[in-house]
A and B are shown apart, each in its own frame.
Chain A
């Protein structure tokens, strides 16, 4: 809306985030060369979480949004987490 303030993010910050995302992508590929057994998937998910955090906060401007928008996004992730946990109630106890 016209009456609202818009936070202007400098290009430099976008570039730094881009470099970080590329580095994390390479790191997520590299880590598969190490035998982590059951933690392989956990490691991949950890990298994905950090990358999602960066994209959401900087590329999608969540960092500069109002609290209610952050709460809504948090709610979405909570639902997603609950779905994963419930699905594993089946797989872990079969």
Chain B
């Protein structure tokens, strides 16, 4: 089923009510909003990478290298706030969810297009508020991205704009989740039953529930921190009868499910790429759906594993440790399904495939190191060490980040109607992958040996590992530059892309590249024998 563009216009060239930039920032077209998110998030990601490089450069040698200790505190805080709240949480849902979700379910747009545009405006407003906290007033926040009490209401730095910015970013996330939930429930084309939905859509569905239910908790928590800071109400301040551990409970009730906001759509993108490049029906379609929903549900109940050394009761520690082990099972199911899909497939090795298999590799290391942290006895030894930083980056950067690049290279021809230079894309992946391993793997060792996280200075015995890690950051940055230059150049000057260059079976590959303004000339109909992964 191949549809044609209305009068030859696609969403990139379409001239609406407004011209130029206004035609983009006031557009309610889901695809244009997806691209707005892409450019905004790419800008923030680059900023976060630069801050990360500065941190690693500082750690190249013990003592002061390029910045003061207070600056270092601010740099790791800002790096975390940008990367979490502005990059990985909105990342895949806001960019590829917006770009692809309606097309994948045969709809013309999301259920609430104006609300969708408002989400982007809220995102940009949140970004500016946080940036204001960094650049003006009493100095950048220095509490770490977690805004832990009592630091967050005791520090003299610019906390209120940063908290308010995170609060606004949360609203953006809630509105996107709400929009996707209603879209998936109400706008599926004829014949697109629940068990015919592409897995990326299923993961967006699970993610949307988490965005809708968990994000308000952190919003309220941040308001309480602001009240504590301004009025001294005594909720978290022990001097006033409050409990700082309550802050950690409330913060992680959101922020642990937020990890699944980050990783579930990433798993969805990988679940699209693996069958396409194996030209084979995905193994265990229903098992992947069940594991997606299980992760979304159980993910709500394990937040306390971030607090094993915080002073929580022993009963709660046992409980959280047990459930943490249980939540590992659905993730493992997905990995087994992806590998089983590859088995005896007609594998077509292309750039998205490289990203997808390297995702599985690093995600498994990240996941298994998570069990070290989920087990009470071992967590006590490595808590708040570089081991945690390594685990976290293997999951969030190696997981969500790699999946983002996989999705970018997978859907790039569809989004821009042009093909990238494959040789440069493969080179970029290889350099990036090697840099990633060199950057984060030494941190596992450093953490096991006792190097604390967020420390400006360290003992001489940790010097070698830090040199290797800093060197890795430079290699990774080189890979990133290759990838970005290749993609930006290809978006403008790449060879025209076919409608279905990878021979995918989901609906987005049935429309021209780039897609027409209204996606489909007429509403597609899914037959009884059609399915998203029905390969010959």
Contacts and interface: CB of A to CB of B under 8 A. Distances in A.
Interface of A: 1, 76, 79, 82-83, 86-87, 89-94
A82 to B, nearest CB: 6
A90 B316 contact: yes
Q: Binding site of B, secondary structure by majority: helix, strand, loop or mixed?
A: helix
B213 A90 contact: no
Given A1-B186, A87-B249, A93 B301 contact: no
A86 B319 contact: yes
Interface stretch (B92-100, B141-149, B307-315): B307-315
Given A83-B301, A93-B314, 4 more contacts: A86-B301, A89-B319, A90-B245, A93-B313
Contacts of B435: none
Contacts of B313: 89-94
B127 interface: no
The 5 A-B residue pairs with the shortest CB-CB distance, nearest first, are A93-B313, A90-B316, A93-B315, A89-B316, A94-B313
Interface in B473-530: none
Nearest to A82: B301
Contacts of A83: 253, 300-301
Interface residues of B, number: 16
Given A86-B301, A90-B249, A79 B315 contact: no
Interface string B122-159: 00000000000000000000000000000000000000
B91 interface: no
Interface in B171-199: 186
Given A1-B186, A89-B316, A93-B313, A82 B245 contact: no
A79 B316 contact: no
B213 A76 contact: yes
Given A79-B213, A83-B253, A90 B301 contact: no
A82 B320 CA distance: 13
A86 B303 CA distance: 10
B206 to A, nearest CB: 13
B134 to A, nearest CB: 33
Contacts of B245: 90
Contacts of A86: 301, 304, 316, 319
Nearest to B245: A90
A93 B300 CA distance: 21
A35 B319 CA distance: 35
